[in-house]
Amino acid sequence: MKNTIGHSITLTIFGESHGPAIGCVIDGMPSGLEINLDYIHQQLSLRKPSGAISTSRKEKDEVKILSGVKNGKSEGTPIALLIENQNGKRKDYSKIENLARPGHVDYSAHVRYGGFEDASGGGHFSGRLTAVLVAAGAIFRYALEKKGILVGSHIVSIHGIEDRKLNEKKLKKELKQLNEMDFAVLDESIKEKMIKEIQSAKEKKDSVGGILETYVLNMPAGIGEPMFSSIESRLSEALFSIPAIKGVSFGEGFGFADLYGSQANDAFYIDKGKVKTKTNHNGGINGGISNGMPIHFYTVIKPTPSIAQTQETINYKTKKETSIKVEGRHDPAIIHRARVVVDCLSALILADLLQEAYGRNYFGETL
Q: Which 280-299 residues touch a copy of itself, going by CB under 8 A? A: 282-283, 285-292, 298
Q: Which of 37, 181, 190, 314 binds a copy of itself (CB under 8 A)?
A: 314
Shortest Cβ 213–a copy of itself spacing (Å): 12
CA distances from 304 to 103, 142, 209, 295 (A): 8, 29, 7, 28
Alpha carbons 20 and 39: distance in angstroms, whole number: 24
Q: Which of 38, 116, 169, 188 binds a copy of itself (CB under 8 A)?
A: 116
Segment 247-286, which members bind a copy of itself (CB under 8 A)?
A: 247-254, 256-270, 273, 275, 277-278, 282-283, 285-286
Alpha carbons 12 and 227: distance in angstroms, whole number: 24
Alpha carbons 305 and 222: distance in angstroms, whole number: 40
Segment 178-207, which members bind a copy of itself (CB under 8 A)?
A: 201, 204, 206-207
Shortest Cβ 93–a copy of itself spacing (Å): 13
Shortest Cβ 281–a copy of itself spacing (Å): 8
Give the DSSP per-residue string, 9-73: SEEEEEE-TTSSEEEEEEESPPSS-B--HHHHHHHHHHHS--GGGS-S-----PEEEEESEETTE
Q: Which of 64, 164, 196, 325 binds a copy of itself (CB under 8 A)?
A: 64
Instruction: Answer yes or no whether residue 336 interacts with a copy of itself by CB under 8 A.
Output: no
Shortest Cβ 202–a copy of itself spacing (Å): 11
Shortest Cβ 50–a copy of itself spacing (Å): 19
Shortest Cβ 173–a copy of itself spacing (Å): 26
From the list 19, 27, 20, the residue with the least C-alpha distance to 3 is 27
Query: Interacting stretch for a copy of itself, rule CB under 8 A, among 96-104, 145-153, 163-171, 179-187?
Result: 96-104
From the list 100, 63, 104, 69, the residue with the least C-alpha distance to 84 is 63
Q: Which of 136, 166, 211, 340 binds a copy of itself (CB under 8 A)?
A: 211
Q: Write down how long the chain is.
A: 367
Segment 148-177, which members bind a copy of itself (CB under 8 A)?
A: 157-160
Between residues 176 and 205, which has the closer beta carbon with respect to a copy of itself?
205
Segment 44-63, which members bind a copy of itself (CB under 8 A)?
A: none
Helix (H) or strand (E) holding 349: helix 335-358
Alpha carbons 306 and 289: distance in angstroms, whole number: 38
* Neighbour tally for 193: CB within 10 Å: 16
Between residues 32 and 39, which has the closer beta carbon with respect to a copy of itself?
32
Alpha carbons 147 and 308: distance in angstroms, whole number: 45
Segment 218-237, which members bind a copy of itself (CB under 8 A)?
A: 220-230, 232-234, 236-237
Between residues 41 and 247, which has the closer beta carbon with respect to a copy of itself?
247
CA angle 60, 62, 66 (to 5 degrees): 155
Alpha carbons 194 and 344: distance in angstroms, whole number: 24
